Structure 1
Amino acid sequence: MKLSTQILLAFSLIILLSVADSYTNYRLSLKVQRNSQFLSKSEAVIRNSNKTHRAVLEMQSAVRGFLLTSDTAFLRPYYSGLKNVPRYLKEQHALIDNNKIQRRILDSVSILHKEWLTYTAELISARKENPKLYQSLLDGKLRKHVGKNINDSISVKFKRFDKLEYKTRKHHSEMLLHSLAKTRTYSLIFLSLTVIAGICSTAYIIVMITNRIKSMVNLADWISKGRFTIVRDTKKDELSALSYSLNIMSGKLKKNIHELENKNEELNKFAYVVSHDLKAPLRGIYNVISWIEEDLSDEVSPALRRYLNIIPQRTQRMEALINGLLDYARTNRKTAPEEVDTNSLIQEITQSIVPRNFTLKIQKLPKIFTERLKLEQVFFNLISNAVKYASPEKGFIEIGCLQNNHIFEFYVQDNGIGIDPQYHNKIFEIFQTLREKNEIESTGVGLAIVKKILDDRGETISITSHLGEGTVFSFTWRNNKRI
């Protein structure tokens, strides 16, 4: 599966969980909204029920007061109720929606209230205009508790109505609390699932990508160190193409390095063979010149002798150049690293090549784990170069080292003729020398050998010099392991 597909699936899972959470919360919020609306309306129903019942009771009290005192002032709440109670009942019908039981109760209340109004209207009229009729009604209906029975029935109806409303209200309150609890629970569940899915998918992708990239980085590091291995990648995604390319590059580099090593070995053999074959004619020429000088010394003219003296110089320079080429070719040889006491190494080199009349100053030098032969070649050529160009009368050479972690920066300083800055780069090219071509000891190979060794190791070399001010060669050298 492609990496982009895996990432897309992970994000899709998180999005689906978020959508499910949102949908569930939306459905639960609708229930919460419906229950909240019902409870809000229920409060209005209960207030209206209490208001209606209170108005009916006030009308009943007003009628009783009038019947007892014949004072029409008591009838004000009665007449007010005649207007308000029907309106209250109509409002209550609108508030209870389609609750059939409560509607039947309200209809019963309306019927009973109308019966009571008919009954009280007859009593009020008789009380005002016809005492005999009032007395008859009093004896016939009032004493039989007709009005009281109607009022009691109305009160019972209102109590039943309120009881039903409170029961329904309690149910919706419980549903509201249940919906809120479910909302919190589902939100917590979906949030947890989303977080877990996000963390797991992110961790999986990060670990997978990190490990595979790490293996590729290790492969690149191994390639840089000459270990041409491959990465085993069974995945089939975008990173697989990179692994495949690195494996191909590693294989090709391994093949090319092997071919180069074979070519270098052939070139080294060729160099040794050629040097041997070249040295033989040179020795022959040198011997012939010696024989001429010995056998024909009396017959040789001064001009011819001058020419004969030039030939050995040229042959000796040619032999020095051939030896320099051999030394340059040997820089490709690898030796096992070992612990090297650079202080002892410098002492051995300087004792063999530095004249006794030179002032030699050697700072405290470290012990390092490295290829002794390569380091020895570098120091030998730099110190030889310092000896060649130092002042013959008051020669001075200083060798020291600065350390930065496991990287050492060595320097070789002399008080020689110095080097013009325009030649600072040119002197590291093979056969480039600042001395005359007929001087045997200067072949222009030494600094080229130094540069080649340092470049092969990935080290650097720098030069600080001006004409007449001496020269300082500084080069870095890494410790193969920390001691």
Structure 2
Amino acid sequence: MKLSTQIVLAFSLIIMLSVADSYTNYRLSLKVHLNSQFLSNSEAVIRNSNKTHRAILEMQSAVRGYLLTNDTTFLEAYYSGLEKVPVFLKEQHLLTDNNERQGAILDSVSTLHNEWLAYTSELITARKENPQAYQNLLDNKLKKHVGKNINDSITEKFKRFDRIEYKTRKHHSQMLMHSLTKTRTYSLIFLSLTFFVGICSTAYIVIMITNRINSMVRVADTISKGRFTIVEDYKNDELSALASSLNIMSRRLEKNIQELEKKNEELNKFAYVVSHDLKAPLRGIYNVITWIEEDLSGELSPALKNYLNIIPQRTQRMEALINGLLDYARINRKTPPELVDTNLLVQEITQSIVPRNFKLEINDLPEIFTERLKLEQVFSNLISNAVKYSNPQNGHIEIKCEKFMSIYEFSIKDHGIGIAKEYHQKIFEIFQTLREKNEMESTGIGLAIVKKIIDEQGEDIHVQSKLGEGTEFIFTWRNTKSV
């Protein structure tokens, strides 16, 4: 499965969980809204019930006061109730439109209230207009508690109505709390799932990509060190193409290196054969000149003797160039690394190269695990170069080292003739020299050998110098054991 597909699936799963969470919260929020709306409506029902019952009680008190005192001012609350109570009952019907039980109770209250109104209307009329009829009503109905029984029935109906409302309200209140609890629970569950899936999918993809990239980096690192391994990758995604390209590169590099090593071996053999074949004629020329000087010395003119003296110098320079080329060809030869005391190494080199009248300063140099022969060649050529271009009478050479992590920076400084800035790069080219071509010891190969060894090690060398102010060569060298 491709990485892009895995990432899309992970995000799709997270989005699905988010959608499920949103949908669940929406459904639960509807329940919360309905229950909250019912509770709000229930408060209005209770208030209206109390208001209606209170208005009916006020009417009953007003009638009772009028009957006892015959004071018509008591009837104001009664007549006011005649207008308000029907309105209140109608409002209550609208508020409890969905509850049949409560609707039936309200109908019973309305019926009982109408009976009471008929009863009280007859009493009030008789009280005002016909005392005898009023007395009969008192004896036949009022004293038999007809009105009281109606009022008690109305009060009982209101109590029953309120009990039903409070019970229903309690149920909806519990449902509201349950919905809120479920909302929090589901939100926490979906949030946890989303977080878990997001973290797991991200960690899985990151770890998988990191491990595979690290394996490719390790292979690239081993390739850079000359070990041509391949990446074992059995996936089929975007990184597989990179792994395949890396494997192809590794195989091609291995093949090219093998071919180069074969060519180098052939070139080394060729160089030895050519050097041997070139040295033989040079020795023959030198011998012939020697014989001429020995056998015909009395017959030679001064000019001819001068010419014969020049020929050995040229042949010796030619032989030095051939030896330099052989040294240059030998650089690619690998030797096993070992622990090298560079302080002791430099001491041995300077004893054989640096004249005794030179001032020599060698700082404390480190021990390095490396190829001894190549490091020895670098020091030998640079110290020899410092001796060549120093004043033979008061030569002064400084050798020191500084460490940066696992890299050592060596410097070899002389106080000789110096090098003009335009030659700072040119001196590292083969056969380039600042001395005259007829000077035997200056072949122009020594610094080229140093440059080639330094480049092969993956290090750096540069020169700091001004004409007439001496020269300092600075190069880096790595401790291979710490890599």
| TM category, shorter | over 0.9
1:159 is matched by which residue type in structure 2?
K
Residues 138-193 of structure 1: CA deviation (Å, up to 9, x unaligned): 22222222212211221121111111111111111111111111111111111111
Residues 323-351 of structure 1: CA deviation (Å, up to 9, x unaligned): 00001011111111111111211121112
Q: For 1:413 and 1:182, how far apart are their aligned partners in 2?
A: 83
Are positions 1:83 and 2:83 aligned together?
yes
* Equivalences for residues 351-370 of structure 1 within 5 A: 351-370=351-370
Helix, strand or coil for the counterpart of 1:248? helix
Q: 1:401: which partner in 2?
A: 401
Residues 409-429 of structure 1: CA deviation (Å, up to 9, x unaligned): 111122221111111111110
Residues 17-63 of structure 1: CA deviation (Å, up to 9, x unaligned): 11111110110010010011001001111111111111111111111
2:337 is matched by which residue type in structure 1?
P
Q: For 1:224 and 1:371, how far apart are their aligned partners in 2?
A: 18
| Of 397-406 and 88-97, the range deviating more from structure 2 | 397-406
2:349 is matched by which residue type in structure 1?
I
Q: 2:4: which partner in 1?
A: 4
Q: For 2:149 and 2:351, how far apart are their aligned partners in 1?
A: 141
Q: 1:441: which partner in 2?
A: 441
Residues 95-147 of structure 1: CA deviation (Å, up to 9, x unaligned): 11221111111111111111111111111001001111111122222222221
Q: For 1:257 and 1:295, how far apart are their aligned partners in 2?
A: 56
Helix, strand or coil for the counterpart of 2:344? helix
Helix, strand or coil for the counterpart of 1:401? strand
Q: 1:255: which partner in 2?
A: 255
Q: 2:387: which partner in 1?
A: 387
Helix, strand or coil for the counterpart of 1:340? strand
Q: 1:67: which partner in 2?
A: 67
Helix, strand or coil for the counterpart of 1:410? strand
Q: 1:122: which partner in 2?
A: 122
Q: For 2:88 and 2:372, how far apart are their aligned partners in 1?
A: 113
1:473 is matched by which residue type in structure 2?
F
Q: 1:328: which partner in 2?
A: 328
Helix, strand or coil for the counterpart of 2:326? helix
Q: For 1:118 and 1:274, how far apart are their aligned partners in 2?
A: 146
Q: For 1:465 and 1:160, how far apart are their aligned partners in 2?
A: 113
Q: For 1:55 and 1:464, how far apart are their aligned partners in 2?
A: 113
| Of 469-478 and 313-322, the range deviating more from structure 2 | 469-478
Q: For 1:41 and 1:482, how far apart are their aligned partners in 2?
A: 82
Helix, strand or coil for the counterpart of 1:329? helix
Q: For 1:251 and 1:453, how far apart are their aligned partners in 2?
A: 26
* Equivalences for residues 269-284 of structure 1 within 5 A: 269-284=269-284
* Equivalences for residues 70-469 of structure 1 within 5 A: 70-469=70-469
Residues 402-447 of structure 1: CA deviation (Å, up to 9, x unaligned): 2223221111122221111111111110000111111111100000
Shift of 1:64: 1.3
1:252 is matched by which residue type in structure 2?
R
| Of 414-423 and 372-381, the range deviating more from structure 2 | 414-423
Q: For 1:453 and 1:227, how far apart are their aligned partners in 2?
A: 20
Q: 1:53: which partner in 2?
A: 53
Shift of 1:65: 1.4
Q: For 2:184 and 2:347, how far apart are their aligned partners in 1?
A: 84
Residues 55-80 of structure 1: CA deviation (Å, up to 9, x unaligned): 11111111111111111111111111
| Of 337-346 and 445-454, the range deviating more from structure 2 | 337-346
Q: For 1:149 and 1:50, how far apart are their aligned partners in 2?
A: 20
Shift of 1:239: 0.9
| Of 437-446 and 212-221, the range deviating more from structure 2 | 212-221
Shift of 1:358: 2.0
Q: For 1:116 and 1:402, how far apart are their aligned partners in 2?
A: 117
| Of 466-475 and 241-250, the range deviating more from structure 2 | 466-475
Residues 291-310 of structure 1: CA deviation (Å, up to 9, x unaligned): 11122222222222222111
Residues 272-295 of structure 1: CA deviation (Å, up to 9, x unaligned): 010001000111111111111122
Q: For 1:303 and 1:285, how far apart are their aligned partners in 2?
A: 19
Shift of 1:482: 4.6
**Unmatched runs of 5 consecutive residues or more in structure 1:** none
Residues 200-249 of structure 1: CA deviation (Å, up to 9, x unaligned): 11111111111111111111111111111111111111111111111111
Shift of 1:481: 2.0
Q: For 2:443 and 2:251, how far apart are their aligned partners in 1?
A: 40
Shift of 1:352: 1.5
Q: For 1:395 and 1:141, how far apart are their aligned partners in 2?
A: 149
Are positions 1:18 and 2:18 aligned together?
yes
Q: For 2:231 and 2:206, how far apart are their aligned partners in 1?
A: 19
Count of matched residue positions in the alignment of Structure 1 and Structure 2 = 483
Shift of 1:401: 1.6
2:17 is matched by which residue type in structure 1?
L
1:477 is matched by which residue type in structure 2?
W
Q: For 1:110 and 1:365, how far apart are their aligned partners in 2?
A: 116
Q: For 2:399 and 2:125, how far apart are their aligned partners in 1?
A: 140
Q: For 1:244 and 1:141, how far apart are their aligned partners in 2?
A: 111
Q: For 1:5 and 1:186, how far apart are their aligned partners in 2?
A: 29
Residues 451-479 of structure 1: CA deviation (Å, up to 9, x unaligned): 00001101111212122211111111111
Q: For 1:81 and 1:26, how far apart are their aligned partners in 2?
A: 46
**Unmatched runs of 5 consecutive residues or more in structure 2:** none
1:205 is matched by which residue type in structure 2?
I
Q: For 1:169 and 1:364, how far apart are their aligned partners in 2?
A: 95
Helix, strand or coil for the counterpart of 1:481? helix
Helix, strand or coil for the counterpart of 1:398? strand
